[in-house]
Amino acid sequence: MGYACPVCDTPQRDGEHLAHHLAFTAMLHGGDHEAWLDERVADWSDREPADLAAEVTPHADEAEYEEVFEDTVPRGRPDVGMGSGGHAASSTPDHGGHDHAGHDHDSPADAGMPTPEQVDDPAVAEALREAREMTREATDEATDADAADAADEVPADADSPDDSDAADADADLADEAADRDA
């Protein structure tokens, strides 16, 4: 059992998680979360999580908080809205009626992240597009660098002049030892 955020109803595991949610959302986005805290806990930004939790939990309704572990669902945590139209995880995600030939929505880089088209805030959508492009460029550069490194490496079984000279010397020593023993 946890608490529902008194502003947006997002479930939180316990009082400290609720305090973190309220404070971080207020600091990052202001708006209703900040106004709610300002009205009830004047010095909220100076409080430790346990202190803030003691002040905010009496105002929050108890809520079911379903524990979800990343390895048990296809897309990470349950949908908490993200304030942007995110979609809930399911065992059969809806991908808009298109097939997946040549691409996969459930790659580790995409796990738990909405697509730019799924968010309501244009600034968030643009940030997602830029992040995906930067990731794509970094991945391409790393792949190109790995390919160049592989081309520069000489296979261990390739005969070089040093290798064949050493092999010839070993054969000569073996012949001399065989002649002495005979």
Torsion of CA 39, 41, 47, 53, to 10 degrees: -110
The ranges assigned to domains in the chain are 1-65
pLDDT per position as a tens digit, 27-39: 999 999 999 999 9
pLDDT per position as a tens digit, 145-162: 777 777 776 555 555 555
Residue scoring higher pLDDT (75 or 137):
137
* Rounded Cα–Cα distance for residues 84 and 29 (Å): 13
